[in-house]
Amino acid sequence: MIILGIDPGLSKMGFGVIKINDEQPSLIDFGIISTTADQPLEKRLKTIYLDLKTVIKEYQPKAMSVEGSFFGKNVRSMMMLGHARGMALLGAAQAGIPVYEYSPRKIKQSVTGNGNATKEQVKYMVQIILGLKEKKIPDDASDALAIALCHTKQFRYDD
């Protein structure tokens, strides 16, 4: 089964694609969908949507896992993040892919065994679990892979 993990963001949306066979995950691809602050919001959202649609079409995931919403003090930042998450959810809905949301704490717990793990600890465990040696993974993509890996711990698949 192929799982697409999404770390939502308006400037940088991380994605990670993994395959799970016999409960063993393997890396397929990862990357960043980037936009710039000097672009109008609608153009940024269109870029996210179209790029994500391309990823979905190429890899045909059977599930999408997304970091769930969290509450912050900056309402504007929360709204921008919500717009970006919406593009990911729309892409999944249009492709008929079920979406699963996980809290940051649940993701860290699933990947490292510690719900309070640091970003560095999560990144290290992602590399260990996927057998990546010396591979430079951007933080947002590493987070997306962690989100995909979290999903593998929540469900058991036969294929």
Contacting residues for 67 by C-beta, under 8 A, at least 6 apart:
6, 7, 8, 101, 102, 103, 104, 107, 143, 147
Residue type (1 letter), 112 = T
Catalytic residues, by residue number, are 7, 67, 140
Strand order in the sheet with 99-102: 24-34, 12-21, 2-7, 63-67, 99-102
